Amino acid sequence: LNLSNLLRDAIENHELFLEYQPQVDLNTGKIIGAEALMRWSQGDGRLVSPAEFIPVAEATGLIKDLGELGLRLSCRELKRWIESGYDDLSMSVNISVPQLHATGFVETIEHLVNEFRIPPSLLKLEITESLLMEHSEAILNILKRLSDFGIQLSVDDFGTGYSSLAYLQDFPVNDLKIDITFIRNIGTEHGNAIPSAIIAMAHSLHLKVVAEGIEHNRQREFLRSRGCDYAQGFLYSRPVSGEEFLEKCSEVN
């Protein structure tokens, strides 16, 4: 019984679901959307981390089905939020590199947006720096088609890869997510320099900045002082169910 077979069954047995971690406007404190994070609750109730099962899905080709499931659940939930009266919350979905390369990716996105009748601008795809580093025409083409369709694009884990600064101007991305490792170092001797530089650079390229993994008030205050746009982290909320997410919106927004 290897993880790959278990995962295949898990997709069919509906053991996979999403949690939503709120993203907050650093100035107003209002919730502007959420990042969808996949969860696997096995038959016996044991939780397996996506850090464990996503790489398995990528290696075995299951990522296409798993990715489509994640996108479908995200769009369905986003539709729910709109119907609950929150018509400007964004939904960020993590996309892995082989998923984006698989045939029909753009068509799948277009199909889901049309099926659920959601504004494409509310759907945000998180791609990693390494994808931009490939700097291939095929990827540029896919990202342009998504962008032309109105989908937002976000660079996840920004700053952890090789420098993709030169490529940023060529890709139609909307925002950068400063990686958690840099947020952790805020307040240490040299720890403020990198987040400050990323924010300044992003703004001069007209990109928005999301800081992820905020756990402490001093991190929030520092990022706010530097003009960072959005924040995500345990200080605000852990990833929660769709219902809990809407409850939080009704408290804060």
Calculate the alpha carbon distances from 13 to 9, 43, 108, 139, 169 in Å.
6, 9, 22, 33, 43
Give residue for tokens 């088609």. 145
- Closest approach of Cβ 71 to ligand G, in Å? 8
Smaller CB distance to ligand G: residue 42 or 148? 42
Kindly state whether residue 35 participates in binding Na ion, applying the rule CB under 5 A: no
Helix (H, G, I), strand (E, B) or coil at 71: helix
Smaller CB distance to Na ion: residue 77 or 156? 156
The rounded distance, in Å, linking the Cα atoms of 175 and 167 is 14
Kindly state whether residue 229 participates in binding Na ion, applying the rule CB under 5 A: no
Q: Which of 35, 129, 157, 229 binds Na ion (CB under 5 A)?
A: 157
Residues forming contacts to ligand G in the complex (CB under 6 A) are: 21, 37-38, 49-51, 54, 70, 94-96, 156-157, 180, 212-215, 233-234, 239
Q: How many CB atoms lie within 10 A of CB 200?
A: 13
- Closest approach of Cβ 85 to ligand G, in Å? 26
Residues forming contacts to Mn ion in the complex (CB under 5 A) are: 94, 126, 156
For the four alpha carbons of 207, 213, 219 and 224, in that order, the dihedral sign comes to: positive
Smaller CB distance to Mn ion: residue 77 or 126? 126
Pick from 160, 97, 165, 126: which is nearest to 36 by CA?
A: 126
Q: By Cβ distance, which residue is nearest to ligand G?
A: 233
